């Protein structure tokens, strides 16, 4: 059985949501952040990096939220929540599975640390702001009129995107991106998402100045 090692206020909410959508059995082990920032030392007993999310499935230990999502869909989901391999939808799906963490998240998180630095972050603030505007403008245009990232149903790409938008909503960024705000509202209203919040416990990304480790 899959065990989710769930760190408070981290990307591991993605995995709880995915498993709830699929209706798969799983166990959960809860961890609280140390000093509102770091994973506790015992998390490194799961994976040497000590970052969330991580799952165990039998003898397997798997880290990185995108990899975990793809693993669960490949091994446990019987073809659900992803397009047919080789299809046009699959090409879009594959790109979006990597887009969020590979391109969008870096300048987004960098802007959080720049805010923490105050005057010390001014020299690179413009660059981070321009990259965020580029990425969020692209996301806004691509999601205009869409209920889902790919096709007519929820996929792993929606799971990836929604965590980013959870944080952006908490920082007030989505006021400038009405299509992303509309899409995000629909995602967080899903019953499985709400169940993940109930099971996972505290989840508040509105004050990311306290740190980021997930």
Cβ atoms of residues 130 and 152 within 8 Å: no
Whether 194 has a pLDDT exceeding 80, the answer reads: yes
Q: What share of the chain is helix, strand, coil (3-state, %, to 5)?
A: 60, 10, 30
As a whole number of angstroms, the distance between CA 52 and CA 50 comes to 7
Closest CA to 63 of 79, 51, 78: 51
Enumerate the CATH 3.40.30.10 domain ranges in the chain, comma separated.
2-81+194-203
Q: How confident is the model at residue 214 (pLDDT cuts 50, 70, 90)?
A: very low
What average pLDDT does this structure show over 9-23? 95
Q: Which helix (H) or strand (E) is 66 found in, with range?
A: helix 65-76
Contact between residue 168 and residue 108 where contact means Cβ atoms under 8 Å apart = yes
pLDDT of 123 > 90? The answer is no
Per-residue confidence (pLDDT) for residue 206, from 0 to 100? 54
Topology classification of domain 88-190: Glutathione S-transferase Yfyf (Class Pi); Chain A, domain 2 (1.20.1050)
Predicted local distance difference test score (pLDDT) of residue 116: 80
Taking each helix axis from N to C end, the angle separating 178-188 and 191-200, rounded to the nearest 10 degrees, works out to 70
Task: Show Cβ contacts of residue 35 under 8 Å, excluding neighbours closer than 6 positions.
Answer: 211
Beta strands 2-7 and 60-63 are unpaired
Spatial distance between the Cα atoms of 122 and 90, rounded to a whole number of angstroms: 40
Q: How many helices (H) and strands (E) does the chain have?
A: 8, 4
* Mean predicted confidence (pLDDT) in 78-103: 97
Using alpha carbons, list the distances in angstroms from residue 76 to 67, 146, 189: 14, 27, 25
Q: What is the pLDDT of residue 7?
A: 87
What phi and psi, each to the nearest 5 degrees, are found at residue 58?
65, -125
Instruction: Kindly state the average pLDDT of the residues 151-173.
Output: 96
Whether omega for the bond prior to residue 53 falls within 30 degrees of 0, making it cis, is yes
Asked if the model's pLDDT at residue 39 lies above 80, the reply is no
As a whole-number percent, the residues of the chain with pLDDT over 70 amount to: 93
Q: How far apart are CA 132 and CA 167, in angstroms?
A: 13
Query: In this structure, which topology does domain 2-81+194-203 adopt according to CATH?
Result: Glutaredoxin (3.40.30)
pLDDT digit string (tens) for 139-154? 999 999 999 999 999 9
* Portion of the chain with pLDDT greater than 90, in percent: 71
Q: Where in the chain is the domain with CATH 1.20.1050.10?
A: 88-190
Mean pLDDT of the chain: 91
pTM summary value: 0.92
In this structure, of 32-41, 56-65, 71-80, the range with the lowest mean pLDDT score is 32-41
């Amino acid at each position: 059985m899959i065990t989710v090692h769930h760190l408070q206020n981290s990307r591991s909410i993605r995995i709880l949501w995915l498993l709830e959508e699929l209706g798969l059995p799983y166990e959960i082990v809860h961890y609280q952040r140390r000093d509102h920032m770091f994973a506790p030392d015992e998390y490194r007993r799961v994976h040497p990096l000590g970052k969330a999310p991580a799952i165990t499935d039998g003898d397997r230990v798997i880290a990185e939220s995108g990899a975990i999502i793809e693993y669960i869909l490949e091994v446990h989901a019987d073809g659900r929540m992803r397009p047919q391999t080789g299809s046009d939808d699959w090409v879009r799906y594959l790109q979006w599975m990597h887009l969020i963490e590979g391109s969008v998240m870096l300048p987004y998180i960098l802007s959080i640390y720049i805010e923490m630095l105050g005057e010390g972050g001014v020299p690179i603030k413009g660059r981070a702001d321009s990259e965020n505007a580029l990425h969020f403008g692209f996301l806004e245009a691509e999601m205009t009129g869409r209920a889902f990232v790919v096709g007519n149903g929820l996929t792993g790409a929606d799971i990836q995107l929604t965590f980013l938008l959870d944080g952006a909503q908490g920082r007030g960024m989505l006021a400038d991106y009405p299509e992303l705000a509309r899409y995000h509202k629909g995602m967080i209203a899903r019953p499985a998402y709400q169940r993940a919040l109930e099971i996972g416990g505290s989840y508040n990304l509105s004050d990311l100045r306290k740190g980021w480790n997930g």
